[in-house]
Amino acid sequence: MEKKKIIFIVNPISGTQSKDTIVELIKKHLDKEKYDFDIIPTQFAGHAIELAAIAAAENVFMVVAIGGDGTVNEVGRSLIHTNTALGIIPCGSGNGLARHLQIPMDPKKAIDIINEGVTSCIDYGTINSIPFFCTCGVGFDAFVSMKFAESGRRGLLTYLENMLHESLKYKPETYNIELCDGNEVKTLKAYLIACANASQYGNNAYIAPQASLHDGLIDVTVLEPFTVLDVPALSFQLFNRTLDQNSRIKTFRCRKLRIHRAKEGVIHFDGDPIMAGKDLDVQVVPKALNIIVNSNKKRKIKKPESLLQIVSDYFVEVNTLRNNIQTRNKRWLELNRKLLRRKLSKK
């Protein structure tokens, strides 16, 4: 039987873990009787788009994104409407699409799924014609994504640091949402509007718990203005897959919508921020991407982390962040005192 070809595209800077170990695991555990393969590292932003497009043009069986949701997006956008399947070895900061598909975070187990080679054809979305596979949005989450990208550091702790810092000063905006399916217009004030093809942002944070990759619909989640008293319940429900039950949350489904805002600003697609205009057109494109999935036929899927563990880990990181900030503030205070003493002594 003729071997199938796989191209592994590695983003060396995604996430926080080294990719050298993953490369060695591929060489050791990939089924050589079924597959020939090449491993290609990206060299600049957008390089994965070019590499995946070349592979698709050559009718390669599978292109595997080794990285986070940004790398998955770059590879996936070149594979839509082709015969080439997208595979994922997740090693980013959030890994939203991989988690939705129950692709293991353990690289060896992710390679086992690639060896099986079971595919499914899924939907994808576009925002102003830019493809996304997990979520896109406007408001606070897009603003934090921009700050996260500007920080130059990766990982959940960095994201939490930006989220906590910016939440103190972010103000909700007023949006007009036009549902193109029924010409209905909603005017509302919102902290964020998330349009979801998959169920979560990443890190098991379920912004659209009922979202499906196969229903031909976008799940829209609107977070209305809230107070500090609402934060514990919102945080709890975000990780417990029950956010849509919160009174501050409005949800609906549609094939297409237009979001209008008063001024230009940042949006995000699969966690990557860009500047965009006042009008944002979002729609779903049904059954357009072949993707490698966890068949669950030969392997028992590991149960998701318990809610208690998720919340515990979350607050451990928050407390660590708070302690770091307090330590840094003490150092600045001490430095200012020393500078003041020097000035007074000179006088």
Q: Is the pLDDT of residue 312 over 90?
A: no
Q: Is 0.85 topped by the overall pTM? A: no
- DSSP tag of 215: S
In one letter, which amino acid is 99?
Answer: R
Mean pLDDT of 297-321: 46
Q: Is the pLDDT of residue 122 over 70?
A: yes
Q: Is the pLDDT of residue 148 over 80?
A: no
Q: Domain spanning 4-123: which CATH class is it, in words?
A: alpha beta
More confident residue, 186 or 14: 186
Side-chain-facing half-sphere of 180: CA atoms under 13 Å: 13
Helix (H/G/I), strand (E/B), else coil: 245: helix
> Among the residues of the chain, which ranges form H helices?
20-29, 47-57, 69-79, 96-100, 107-116, 140-151, 156-167, 231-239, 307-346
Mean pLDDT of 108-132: 97
Q: Is the pLDDT of residue 307 over 60?
A: no
| Percent of the chain clearing pLDDT 90 (strictly above) | 61
Q: Alpha-carbon torsion 113, 114, 117, 118, what sign?
A: positive
Q: Which of 231, 159, 154, 226 is nearest to 192 (CA)?
A: 226
Band (235; pLDDT cuts 50, 70, 90): confident
Mean pLDDT of 56-78: 96
How many angstroms separate the CA atoms of 74 and 52, rounded?
8
Q: Which of 258, 259, 206 is nearest to 237 (CA)?
A: 206
pLDDT of the residue at 40? 97
Q: What is the pLDDT of residues 21-46, one digit of tens each?
A: 999 999 999 999 999 999 999 999 89
| Domains of the chain by residue range | 4-123, 130-284, 308-347
Q: Is the pLDDT of residue 305 over 90?
A: no
107-121, 145-159, 166-180, 224-238: lowest mean pLDDT where? 145-159
Is the CATH number of domain 130-284 2.60.200.40? Answer: yes
Q: Which two tokens stand for residue 204?
A: 């098991």
Q: Is the pLDDT of residue 51 over 60?
A: yes
How many angstroms separate the CA atoms of 101 and 126, rounded?
20
Task: Judge whether 4-123 and 130-284 match in fold.
Answer: no
